[in-house]
């Protein structure tokens, strides 16, 4: 079932055939809508009036600015939506760098080490994203009062080095 279209929303993510790939702007008058084009997958445009892929009409720089609003998981999902989105996301080091700098705030040693070894921003992010989430959970005390192993089922875990465990232990002692 499609989400309701609200007039105050100019851009609304709508499902395409089997994936989330279309942005619609039904709230805009017809005179302001971009002309219909073929989809980024090479198929015919969607049947809903006014729907089309924003990346086909906007300059690449604007598409990158839109993609910059996504978190890493959403960025990876968007990369699988269509070939055009995939190309834009894969070729944009600044997208991956921005996300990696957020992870670096938590895992500075790991990110700096990966970058010094010549790994791309994307690979560095993929290697350290889960680690940063786990480390943040530990440092904020999420695991301070675990009564049984059952409480940890379904939680992400990652290998942490001795220095990180030292930081976590110090945070626990300071609580």
Reported pTM: 0.61
Q: What is the DSSP letter of 65?
A: H
Query: What does the pLDDT look like over 20-35, one tens digit per residue?
Result: 333 333 333 343 334 4
Boundary (domain end) residue, out of 91, 126, 160:
91
Q: Are 81 and 19 part of one and the same domain?
A: yes
Q: Are 25 and 85 part of one and the same domain?
A: yes
Confidence at 157, pLDDT banded by 50, 70, 90: confident
Query: What does the pLDDT look like over 42-58, one tens digit per residue?
Result: 555 544 545 578 999 89
CB neighbours of residue 155 within 10 Å: 12
Q: Are 111 and 168 part of one and the same domain?
A: yes
Q: Are 48 and 78 part of one and the same domain?
A: yes
- Bridge partners of 24? 12, 51
Q: What percent of the chain has pLDDT over 70?
A: 71
Domain-embedded: residue 100: no
Pair 50, 33: CB distance under 8 Å: yes
Domain-embedded: residue 7: no
- Cβ-Cβ contacts under 8 Å for 128 (sequence gap 6 or more): 100, 103, 107, 110, 111, 114
Range of the domain at 48: 12-91
d(CA 82, CA 109): 35
For residue 12, the surrounding DSSP H or E stretch is: strand 12-15
């Amino acid at each position: 079932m499609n989400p309701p279209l609200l007039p105050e929303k100019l851009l609304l993510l709508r499902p395409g055939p089997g994936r989330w790939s279309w942005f619609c702007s039904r709230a805009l008058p017809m005179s302001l809508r971009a002309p219909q084009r073929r989809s980024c997958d090479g198929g015919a445009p969607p049947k809903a009036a006014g729907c089309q892929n924003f990346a086909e009409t906007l300059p690449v720089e604007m598409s990158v600015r839109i993609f910059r609003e996504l978190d890493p998981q959403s960025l990876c999902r968007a990369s699988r939506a269509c070939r055009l989105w995939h190309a834009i996301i894969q070729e944009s080091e600044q997208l991956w760098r921005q996300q990696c700098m957020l992870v670096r705030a938590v895992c500075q040693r790991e990110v700096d080490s990966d970058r010094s070894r010549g790994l791309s921003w994307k690979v560095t992010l993929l290697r350290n994203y889960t680690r940063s989430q786990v480390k943040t959970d530990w440092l904020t005390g999420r695991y301070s009062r675990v009564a049984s192993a059952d409480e940890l089922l379904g939680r992400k875990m990652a290998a942490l080095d001795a220095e990180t465990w030292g930081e976590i232990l110090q945070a626990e002692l300071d609580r």
